[in-house]
Chain A
Amino acid sequence: MSAATRPSKLFKNLNAKIASIPMILTALCVFVGGTTWTVVYSFTDSKLLPRLRFVGIEQYERLWASQRWIVSIENLAIYGILSLVFSLVIGFLLAALLDQKIRFEDTFRTIFLYPFALSFIVTGLVWQWILNPQFGVQGIVRGLGWESFSFDPLYNADIVIYGIMIAGLWQGTGLVMCLMLAGLRGIDEDIWKAARVDGIPMWKTYLFIVIPMMRPVFITTLVIIASGIVKLYDLVVAQTGGGPGNASEVPAKYVYEFMFRAQNLGQGFAASTMMLLTVAIIVVPWAYLEFGRRR
């Protein structure tokens, strides 16, 4: 094909472009449109129904003066950072162990991935029972004779968020493990052989050769874990309902409750805008570094 008759760039892969038009429209209308609408109405005093009566940043002032919102943000930060670190570390370790050509690998893989098939509501309820002081872990250990044993995270305001994190990790690490395992299997056998020939210890091979090569897998995993963290809601509702008191509140729950229970859409919109802003602050510079560099 000569350079003169080469079709313009716009018509390259025309079929694919036509096929993606519905998705582009959905993304524009629903995501961009919906987001703009929410941000605009967060500057109004909308109560039960959206109304365009602007009140400036009043909703935001109230939001940041609210003790409950502060607690929610702190909880999300603790849960977010710890569950990100732990699910990556545990997931990778499990995958590396499974990758040692062990027997019954399929069985283990199924066991580890199984919790992911449960909804957060089920996970939350199961762990609510396990962590219940009367019937769960504490009750069993005390029944075995260790009378002073105390483990009741869901009933202690200071550590309740860790109780929720345990359930979150139990549910989520299986998926991380599977992704990591897929990444490990994608590493060429020859690299391992070369490393062995050079006499590099296994942990060093993992740390300095394999992990850098698995960068795309790590990024995918990171995005999946992070989106799960931001939308954390149902696990809290099922496990503690936000209690004791307000100790395990999370931002998504604040948004829901102010929009629908308190009939104060403006406040709910302001809170959800803040959530969006937080995500944007983290994602935009990262995406810029990650994707902008390649052009």
Chain B
Amino acid sequence: MRFGFYRAALAASVAFCVSAPASATDLEVTHWWTSGGEAAAVAEFAKAFDATGNKWVDGAIAGSGDTARPIMISRITGGDPMGATQFNHGRQAEELVQEGLMRDLTDLATKEEWAKLINPPTLLQNCTLDGKIYCVPVNIHSWQWIWLSNKAFADAGVPVPTNWDEFVAAAPALEKAGKVPLALGKQAWQESGALNVLMAAIVGPETFLKVYKDKDETVAAGADIAKVFKAADDARKMAVNSNVQNWNEATAMVINGQAGGQIMGDWAQGEFQVAGQVAGKDYTCLPGLGLNAVIATGGDAFYFPKVDNADISAAQETLAHVMLSPETQVAFNLKKGSLPVRGDVDLTAANDCMKKGLEILAAGKTMQWTDELISPDTTQQMNDLMAEFFSTPTITPEDAQKRFAEIIAKAD
């Protein structure tokens, strides 16, 4: 505690000295967008913010959100907050908000009428705690996609599947052609993500919510979820030869035709874009694995830590404004491969896959995702279980399901 105080005092005094020349304010923004497509997208934010006369100081932290979030959180709780920081909205920053470490944006939100702009409204609800708004949603990301390499299937001499079952059936042909049927990075979040996608696709959003929202352990132990673990077992067998770690390395396997497909969120699309591939021609995307075309409206949001500095506060407001402006939303989301948070922007430049997503969004077929439903603690337990399951062929789907139900029973 002592050190916390000194550090805060030190940070405050440094901030005070720096703030003397007022016009252009440097605002440090931390995020974990470091892959090719992501970096291109975040550059759009920086460009738009710099155009307002301020300066975007890029604080990219490599190594996925799991690595970045502890660093961000300890900077905020340690009294050395950045100007703005990315989180997945939902429950990751919940306690920071409760402790009053994050800035209340309600005034700005009312002035700019975010409630009317932001679609679907659940996005803003996820930023709201006790009626106050604490974050700016910047995109809609959905996990429920499978990305298929048209080249891999052509090489194997089988048609590109239209759903998960056909994909599983095509796996032996792919293997015979020397391909890895399913590319899967060996990181726990990717493995538990794949399980959740399978769950949403196979049993549908209702049962998914019974498990994750109502934390109903009898459903989690029941026959429906048993089908999900059976499918996860298939996925495990198909991904046996996938020896990569990062998600974009797995995506690269799909891009160059080494692998048949990858279950990954729509951020993978940015990678296809950077590689110059065309949706429908070089690769195929199936929302909801072709079984259940519903998308989750998770995504990224920016939070603004409380700072005692009028210049930085003003710059924070400018950044929030810029991020939601229609031009930035279009430029950013096209590069990122995600959907814009405003319903009123023009996305004629969107590609095939994004259009599929927009259609589903327009039809209102959306659902909540785990970031909003379960705490980071439960997520970690899920990740541990799935990491073990995917790397240990001796764990049967039944055992894994039993342990899954135990986690759900104690979940919060």
B380–A243 contact, CB under 8 A?
no
Q: At the interface, yes or no: B163 with Cβ under 8 Å from chain A?
A: no
Would you give the shortest CB distance from B98 to chain A, in whole angstroms?
A: 9
B74–A263 contact, CB under 8 A?
no
Residues of B with C-beta under 8 A to A157 = 391-392
Would you give the shortest CB distance from A86 to chain B, in whole angstroms?
A: 27
A245–B387 contact, CB under 8 A?
yes
Q: At the interface, yes or no: B51 with Cβ under 8 Å from chain A?
A: no
Q: At the interface, yes or no: B207 with Cβ under 8 Å from chain A?
A: no
Residues of A with C-beta under 8 A to B377 = 47, 258, 262-264, 267
Q: How far is the CA of A263 from the CA of B379 in the complex (A)?
A: 10
> Could you tell me how many residues of chain B have their Cβ less than 8 Å away from some Cβ of chain A?
30
Q: At the interface, yes or no: B59 with Cβ under 8 Å from chain A?
A: no
A244–B391 contact, CB under 8 A?
yes
Closest 9 CB pairs of A and B: A245-B391, A262-B380, A260-B70, A48-B95, A244-B391, A264-B377, A245-B388, A263-B376, A262-B377
Chain A 261-292: CB-based contact to B (< 8 A → 1; otherwise 0): 11110010000000000000000000000000
Q: At the interface, yes or no: B31 with Cβ under 8 Å from chain A?
A: no
Q: How far is the CA of A257 from the CA of B403 in the complex (A)?
A: 20
Q: At the interface, yes or no: A109 with Cβ under 8 Å from chain B?
A: no
Q: At the interface, yes or no: B365 with Cβ under 8 Å from chain A?
A: no
B380–A260 contact, CB under 8 A?
no
User: Can you add 20 more A-B contacts, CB < 8 Å, to A262-B376, A262-B377?
Assistant: A47-B95, A47-B375, A48-B94, A66-B381, A67-B384, A67-B388, A155-B243, A243-B391, A244-B186, A244-B391, A245-B388, A247-B391, A260-B69, A261-B66, A261-B376, A262-B379, A263-B92, A263-B95, A263-B376, A264-B377
Q: How far is the CA of A218 from the CA of B376 in the complex (A)?
A: 45
Q: At the interface, yes or no: B390 with Cβ under 8 Å from chain A?
A: yes
Q: At the interface, yes or no: A191 with Cβ under 8 Å from chain B?
A: no
A264–B380 contact, CB under 8 A?
yes
Would you give the shortest CB distance from A25 to chain B, in whole angstroms?
A: 12
Residues of B with C-beta under 8 A to A261 = 66, 69-70, 376, 380
Question: A245-B387, A260-B70 are contacts. A49–B77 as well, Cβ < 8 Å?
Answer: yes
Q: At the interface, yes or no: B278 with Cβ under 8 Å from chain A?
A: no
Q: At the interface, yes or no: B108 with Cβ under 8 Å from chain A?
A: no
Residues of A with C-beta under 8 A to B344 = none
Within 8 A of A (CB), among B238-292: 243, 245
A263–B375 contact, CB under 8 A?
yes
Question: A49-B95, A257-B380 are contacts. A245–B392 as well, Cβ < 8 Å?
Answer: yes
Residues of B with C-beta under 8 A to A257 = 380
Residues of B with C-beta under 8 A to A260 = 69-70, 73-74
Q: At the interface, yes or no: B99 with Cβ under 8 Å from chain A?
A: yes
Which residue of A241, A245, A263, A267 is within 8 Å of B390 (Cβ)?
A: A245
Closest to B101 in A: A49
Q: How far is the CA of A66 from the CA of B99 in the complex (A)?
A: 30
Q: Give the most central of B245, B379, B384, B387: most A CB within 10 Å.
A: B384
B186–A243 contact, CB under 8 A?
yes
B residues near A (Cβ < 8 Å) are 66, 69-70, 73-74, 77, 92, 94-96, 99, 186-187, 243, 245, 375-377, 379-381, 384, 387-392, 403, 410
Q: How far is the CA of A111 from the CA of B70 in the complex (A)?
A: 38
Q: At the interface, yes or no: A246 with Cβ under 8 Å from chain B?
A: yes
Would you give the shortest CB distance from B376 to chain A, in whole angstroms?
A: 4
Would you give the shortest CB distance from A153 to chain B, in whole angstroms?
A: 14
Q: Could you jot down 29 A-B contacts, CB within 8 Å? A: A47-B375, A48-B77, A48-B94, A49-B95, A62-B410, A66-B381, A67-B384, A155-B243, A157-B391, A157-B392, A241-B187, A243-B186, A243-B387, A243-B391, A246-B388, A257-B380, A258-B377, A258-B380, A260-B69, A260-B70, A260-B73, A261-B70, A261-B376, A261-B380, A262-B377, A262-B379, A262-B380, A263-B375, A264-B380
Would you give the shortest CB distance from B412 to chain A, in whole angstroms?
A: 9
A246–B384 contact, CB under 8 A?
yes
Residues of B with C-beta under 8 A to A155 = 243
Chain A 31-60: CB-based contact to B (< 8 A → 1; otherwise 0): 000000000000000011100000000000
Would you give the shortest CB distance from B212 to chain A, in whole angstroms?
A: 17
Q: How far is the CA of A11 from the CA of B375 in the complex (A)?
A: 58
Q: Give the most central of B77, B245, B380, B389: most A CB within 10 Å.
A: B380
Closest to B91 in A: A263
Would you give the shortest CB distance from B102 to chain A, in whole angstroms?
A: 12
Closest to B392 in A: A245
Residues of B with C-beta under 8 A to A68 = 384, 388
Closest to A249 in B: B384
Would you give the shortest CB distance from A1 to chain B, in whole angstroms?
A: 44
Residues of A with C-beta under 8 A to B99 = 49
Q: How far is the CA of A243 from the CA of B391 in the complex (A)?
A: 8
Residues of B with C-beta under 8 A to A242 = 387
Q: How far is the CA of A241 from the CA of B188 in the complex (A)?
A: 10
